[in-house]
């Protein structure tokens, strides 16, 4: 790993993730992961809020194979701003096994959008997490959403649970499929049947274009890391939240590793353990197949669905 002035306290990804006990279904998609740099080739954005360690496409593809995934969805991370070159390069190098989610401004041209589509991009991400990005006006985001709808692209939204009431009217106006990162970041110290997470579930009930990534137990958990590979119930406090969503909306859920796990404090997860977490939130083979194969194919590889 080569790093340039990474953020103090930065944790690098797990060097030797375990082989998962869970056998992933054939064709499984890791639908949320990132590439960072390498900075020498793809410099980080001047406006970034953190400087990560390089985490390039070769490491990502090696992890894909090690864990038993067939494909990746590479989501543009805020440290690269609207410069999508690292993500596009990875998609192009994947031989059709990676699709991308870009970040664009209103100045993006139609030609650039078409070129991104040809490289494998199928969505844009709107990031509302204040520690990661400066605010973009909603009318600008709506304009982008309407333009990409013509390409059949969806919108990925990343926000924190406390901001959902304020964002609700904006989400309701989006003409696209809307994919929510990490279940809208619930506070898992509250009950999964409580009003906070209830509001998020209501969003999904009232808007059948809203999908959800039941990802990032390592980010949401407050009980700390699982003890050992093979522990039967890793990230137990997140399970009731993710399981509720999977069981209520089996056709509208996705899952991803979130490798290389930006901005984690405290511990770096073993990606093999994260895969084993899936068995707790999608306990049947049928649910696992929907979560890991059928749903991501519908959104990212509809030609294969
Ligand atoms: C994630 C989480 C984070 C970062 C980003 O775009 C990003 O920089 O996504 C985070 O720090 O919560 O979704 O991987």
Instruction: Tell me how crowded residue 278 is: count the other CB atoms within 10 A of its CB.
Output: 23
> Which residues 6+ apart lie within 8 Å of 41 measured at CB?
86
pLDDT score recorded for residue 223: 85
Residues 27, 290: Cα–Cα separation, whole Å: 11
Helix (H, G, I), strand (E, B) or coil at 124: strand
281 lines ligand 1 (CB under 6 A): no
pLDDT score recorded for residue 302: 96
Residue from 121, 126, 184 nearest 153 by CA: 121
Domains of the chain: 29-300 (3.20.20.140)
280 lines ligand 1 (CB under 6 A): no
| 6, 31, 76, 132: residue to mutate for ligand 1 pocket, most atoms within 8 A of CB | 132
Residues 103, 156: Cα–Cα separation, whole Å: 10
Any catalytic annotation for residue 258?
yes
Residues 9, 3: Cα–Cα separation, whole Å: 13
Instruction: Tell me how far the alpha carbon of residue 78 lies from the centroid of ligand 1, in angstroms.
Output: 7
pLDDT score recorded for residue 17: 95
Atom 5 (ligand 1) nearest CA:
77
pLDDT score recorded for residue 230: 65
Ligand 1 atom with least separation from CA of 50: 8
Ranges in the chain, pLDDT < 70? 1-4, 227-232
> Which residues 6+ apart lie within 8 Å of 65 measured at CB?
none
Residue among 30, 54, 181, 258 flagged as catalytic: 258
């Amino acid at each position: 790993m080569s790093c340039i002035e990474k953020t103090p306290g930065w944790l690098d990804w797990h060097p030797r993730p375990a082989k998962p006990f869970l056998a992933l279904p054939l064709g499984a998609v890791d639908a949320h992961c990132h590439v960072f740099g390498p900075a020498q080739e793809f410099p980080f954005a001047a406006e970034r809020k953190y400087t990560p360690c390089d985490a390039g496409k070769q490491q990502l593809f090696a992890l894909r194979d090690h864990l038993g995934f067939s494909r990746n969805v590479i989501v543009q991370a805020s440290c690269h701003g609207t410069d999508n070159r690292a993500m596009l390069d990875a998609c192009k190098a994947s031989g059709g096994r990676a699709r991308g989610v870009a970040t664009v401004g209103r100045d993006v041209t139609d030609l650039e959008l078409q070129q991104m589509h040809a490289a494998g991009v199928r969505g844009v991400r709107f990031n509302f997490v204040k520690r990661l990005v400066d605010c973009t006006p909603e009318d600008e985001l709506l304009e982008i959403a309407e333009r990409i709808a013509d390409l059949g692209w969806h919108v990925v939204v990343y926000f924190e649970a406390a901001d959902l009431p304020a964002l609700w009217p904006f989400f309701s106006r989006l003409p696209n499929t809307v994919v929510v990162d990490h279940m809208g970041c619930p506070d898992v110290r509250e009950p999964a049947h409580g009003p906070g997470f209830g509001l998020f579930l209501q969003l999904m009930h009232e808007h059948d274009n809203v999908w959800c990534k039941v990802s990032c137990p390592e980010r949401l958990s407050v009980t700390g890391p699982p003890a050992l590979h093979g522990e039967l119930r890793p990230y137990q406090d997140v399970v009731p939240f993710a399981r509720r969503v999977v069981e209520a909306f089996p056709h509208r859920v996705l899952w991803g590793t979130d490798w290389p796990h930006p901005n984690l404090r405290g511990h770096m997860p073993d990606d093999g353990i994260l895969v084993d977490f899936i068995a707790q939130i999608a306990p049947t083979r049928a649910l696992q197949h929907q979560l890991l194969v059928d749903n991501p194919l519908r959104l990212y590889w509809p030609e294969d669905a």
